[in-house]
């Protein structure tokens, strides 16, 4: 039995031994993403390159060498822009291979085209494996660090982190006071929690402007649960309170946290 447990522990250790490592990005890449640029030039460049590469391959397969040359030249021109935009990446570009694509298309050498396309494509895939997750987190994940929300309880501006802490504390203290027999204090904490929960619509509404988002997070069912929670708080019904808080936690809090909090915590690893 001891041997079985030891084997399981070893397997468990191996399973969780792999660490996630985020490769930091060249500083100049920040010039092509918000807040420095709203044009997303580098993302646009990636789309152009992907389309151009596909344009070359599809036209070569159809023996349309004229259009293949058009896409090959477009590919070469834009591929070289990578090195101009991010100088530290210039030295790793497959310049010879991308040039060979153009020359092979001009000479209508199908096998040479495909060989060079494969080399360029492989370099793209390798770069994506190294940097794409970091770029997604650093440049695409929303940054809430500078966002404030007016607290409906105190009337003060809170950071989102402080607002969430206050709301979480209301929830915990409401339960504690009820269990301790302090119904008046529990009622105040419960009402403050509800005010803060409903107050989040002002923050979420800045981005989630569509009616569908409002219905999902603050729709009819959520309002029913809040009404039920308010009644339970007034009557000091702990079981009913817990039931409604569980639903809110699973259908509102957890969904938002899974979408936003995970990426935000990873984003913090890069620093400012």
SS3 sequence of the chain: CHHHHHHHHHHHHHHCCCCCCCCCCCHHHHHHCCCCCCCCHHHHHHHHHHHHHHHHHHHHHCCCHHHHHHHHHHHHHHHCHHHHHCHHHHHHCCHHHHHHHHHHHHCCCHHHHHHHHHHHHHHHHHHHHHHHHHHHHHHHCCCCCCCEEECCCCCCEEEHHHHHHHHHHHHHHHHHHHHCCCHHHHHHHHHHHHHHHHHHHHHHCCCCCCHHHHHHHHCHHHHHHHHHHHHHHHHCCHHHHHHHHHHHHHHHHHHHHHHHHHHHHHHHCCCC
User: Which pLDDT value is given to residue 13?
Assistant: 42
Q: Note whether 152 and 199 are within 8 A (CB).
A: yes
Angle at Cα 224 formed by Cα 147 and Cα 255, nearest 5°?
40
Give pLDDT, residue 4.
42
Per-residue model confidence (pLDDT) at position 3 = 44
Q: What is the pLDDT of residue 8?
A: 42
Strands 148-150 and 157-159: antiparallel
- If we measure between CA atoms, which residue out of 252, 249, 244, 248 comes closest to residue 228? 244
- The predicted-structure confidence for 89-110, as pLDDT tens digits, reads as follows 999 999 999 999 999 999 999 9
- Residues of the chain under the 70 pLDDT cut: 1-20, 205-206, 210, 212-218, 269-272
Q: Domain-by-domain residue ranges, the chain?
A: 27-140, 148-268
CATH of 27-140, one of 1.20.120, 1.20.81, 3.40.1350, 1.10.1740: 1.20.120
pLDDT reported for residue 18:
56
Give the pLDDT confidence of 156-191 residue by residue, as tens digits.
999 888 999 999 999 999 999 999 999 999 999 999
């Amino acid at each position: 039995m001891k041997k079985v447990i030891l084997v399981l522990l070893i397997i468990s250790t191996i399973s969780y031994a792999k660490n996630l490592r985020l490769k930091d990005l060249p500083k100049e890449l920040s010039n092509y993403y918000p807040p420095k640029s709203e044009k997303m030039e580098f993302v646009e460049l990636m789309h152009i390159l992907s389309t151009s590469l596909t344009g070359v391959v599809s036209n070569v397969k159809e023996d349309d060498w004229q259009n293949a040359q058009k896409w090959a030249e477009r590919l070469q021109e834009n591929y070289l822009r990578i090195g101009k935009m991010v100088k530290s990446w210039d030295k790793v570009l497959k310049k010879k291979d991308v040039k060979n694509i153009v020359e092979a298309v001009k000479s209508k050498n199908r096998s040479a085209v495909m060989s060079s396309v494969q080399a360029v494509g492989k370099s793209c895939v390798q770069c994506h494996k190294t940097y794409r997750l970091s770029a997604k987190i650093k440049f695409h994940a929303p940054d809430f660090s500078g966002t404030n929300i007016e607290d409906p309880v105190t009337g003060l501006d809170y950071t989102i982190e402080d607002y969430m802490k206050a709301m979480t504390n209301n929830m915990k203290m409401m339960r504690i006071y009820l269990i301790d027999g302090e119904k008046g204090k529990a009622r105040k904490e419960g009402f403050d929690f509800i005010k803060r929960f409903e107050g989040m619509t002002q923050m979420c509404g800045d981005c989630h402007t569509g009616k569908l988002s409002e219905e999902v997070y603050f729709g009819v069912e959520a309002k029913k649960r809040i009404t039920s929670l308010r009644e339970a708080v007034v009557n000091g019904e702990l079981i009913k309170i817990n039931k409604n808080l569980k639903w809110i936690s699973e259908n509102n809090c957890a969904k938002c946290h899974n979408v936003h909090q995970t990426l935000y915590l990873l984003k913090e690893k890069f620093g400012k």
